[in-house]
Amino acid sequence: MGDADNATRAPESDAQEPIASPPTDGLAEQSQPVTGEHCVTDRPTPNGQSSTGEIIKLSDIDVYISKPADYPHTPSRLLLLLTGGTGIKSVNNQIQADKYATEGFLVLMPDMFAGDTTPGAAITDDSTSVLEQIKIKAVEMAKSFVIDMWLARITPDKVMPVLHKVIEAAREQYADAVRHGDGIYAVGYCVGARFVMLLAKQTEKAGGDEESAKEKEGPYIKAGALAHAASVIPDDFKDLKAPLSFACVENDPLFPDTVRSAGEDIMSDANLEHEVQVYPGVPHGFAVVGQYQDSSIQDAQATAYEQMLKWVQDH
């Protein structure tokens, strides 16, 4: 798909610290985890908006749930929403879940970090002066080491078992929604976007003999949509089976163009149904609910939401 043409550069994206990209072949794994302020901070919540769901327990895991107004009297499809580092207690993330619920999805937003959200998370506002922005950036740079240490803890070995427990419990407790959608759908933002990809894989199940080794695991979702993914490596594109939609930021150091291009080739070679929309001039994190003074970023945010919503609705 072509680049979005309705966004201009946000002031904070100019201040973003550059991070080295992988080699140009796009196939080398990033040696260090990286993240940025837009994965770990919330924008100001839009005026007059508040969340309407609640936090429940599924398999002893905290999950924010948002239901359509007429559920269960009207059939709904089940949607997992996987967040960035601000987690399920972020009002903006909760409002994001509520938006999908108003479109007829029963939304489960699990605490995939087990309460270990990013340290030093704060609300950022692009209305501050240049000097204040510089001061804020200095503080953020001081926190960067701590944040990278946090991200190093958010590994598939820790997160995937949490997601599998939530999926297993959801299949039992919300079997009607799973059945109505003929499976589970997923959307993900920032760090959470990578785990949508991992849920979309089909892999061989390890076993003690040759026959059991042939058993397959996954995919765990029917279709997924991702916005400004972080920490994705080329191997994440291998063995994908569920259709995926990507809303990407142009020249995103957290999802380098070389990795994205290599991934597109892998998906095309595998005949995986997918779409990739690149949004120029917007900051990483732009698609998550939150106020921006720049109306073009607001427009891009709305466009990305419609892109992701349409994808899960159409599949």
pLDDT tens for each residue of 196-208: 999 999 988 766 5
Residue 9: the pLDDT is 33
Whether residue 164 lies inside any domain: the answer is yes
Whether residue 18 lies inside any domain: the answer is yes
Which residue, among 115, 110, 210, 120, has the nearest Cα to 166 in the 3D structure?
Answer: 110
Distance between CA 81 and CA 88 in Å, rounded?
10
Q: pLDDT band for position 115 (50/70/90)?
A: confident
Give the Å distances, CA to CA, from 6 to 24, 127, 130, 281, 300.
29, 21, 25, 9, 6
The answer, yes or no, to whether residue 32 has pLDDT greater than 60, is no
Residue 187: the pLDDT is 98
The answer, yes or no, to whether residue 149 has pLDDT greater than 80, is no
Whether residue 199 lies inside any domain: the answer is yes
Q: Which pair of structure tokens corresponds to residue 74?
A: 């009207």
Q: pLDDT band for position 24 (50/70/90)?
A: very low
Q: What is the overall mean pLDDT for the chain?
A: 83
Q: Which domain holds residue 200?
A: 11-314
The answer, yes or no, to whether residue 114 has pLDDT greater than 60, is yes
Q: Which of 3-12, 45-54, 132-141, 183-192 has maximum average pLDDT? A: 183-192
pLDDT tens for each residue of 294-313: 999 999 999 999 999 999 99
Q: Please compute the mean of the pLDDT values over residues 228-249 and round it to a whole number.
A: 96
- 22 or 300: whose pLDDT is higher? 300
The answer, yes or no, to whether residue 163 has pLDDT greater than 60, is yes
The answer, yes or no, to whether residue 135 has pLDDT greater than 70, is no
Whether residue 2 lies inside any domain: the answer is no
The answer, yes or no, to whether residue 85 has pLDDT greater than 90, is no
pLDDT tens for each residue of 171-195: 999 999 999 999 999 999 999 999 9
Whether residue 156 lies inside any domain: the answer is yes
Q: Please compute the mean of the pLDDT values over residues 209-219 and round it to a whole number.
A: 74
Q: Please compute the mean of the pLDDT values over residues 36-53 and round it to a whole number.
A: 79
Residue 23: the pLDDT is 38
Whether residue 1 lies inside any domain: the answer is no
- 108 neighbors 170 (Cβ within 8 angstroms): yes
Which residue, among 199, 291, 304, 205, has the nearest Cα to 246 in the 3D structure?
Answer: 304
- Please give the tally of structural domains in the chain: 1
Residue 284: the pLDDT is 92
Whether residue 107 lies inside any domain: the answer is yes
Residue 120: the pLDDT is 54
- 11 or 70: whose pLDDT is higher? 70
Distance between CA 168 and CA 173 in Å, rounded?
9
Q: pLDDT band for position 43 (50/70/90)?
A: confident
> In CATH, what number is assigned to the domain containing residue 215?
3.40.50.1820
Please spell the DSSP secondary structure of the chain, one letter per residue: -PPP-S----HHHHTPPP-PPPPTTS-SPPSS----HHHH-BPPPPTT-----EEEEETTEEEEEE--TTTTTS--EEEEEE--TT-TT-HHHHHHHHHHHHTTEEEEEE-TTTT-PPTT--B--TTS-HHHHHHHHHHHHHHHHHHHHHHHH--HHHHHHHHHHHHHHHHHHTHHHHHHTTSEEEEEETHHHHHHHHHTB-EEPP-SSTTGGG-EE----SEEEEES--S--GGGGTTB-S-EEEEEETT-TTS-HHHHHHHHHHHHHTT--EEEEEETT--TTTTSS---SSHHHHHHHHHHHHHHHHHHHH-
In percent, the amount of the chain with pLDDT more than 70 equals 74
Whether residue 5 lies inside any domain: the answer is no
Give the Å distances, CA to CA, from 206 to 172, 197, 215.
25, 20, 8
In percent, the amount of the chain with pLDDT more than 90 equals 64
The answer, yes or no, to whether residue 154 has pLDDT greater than 60, is yes
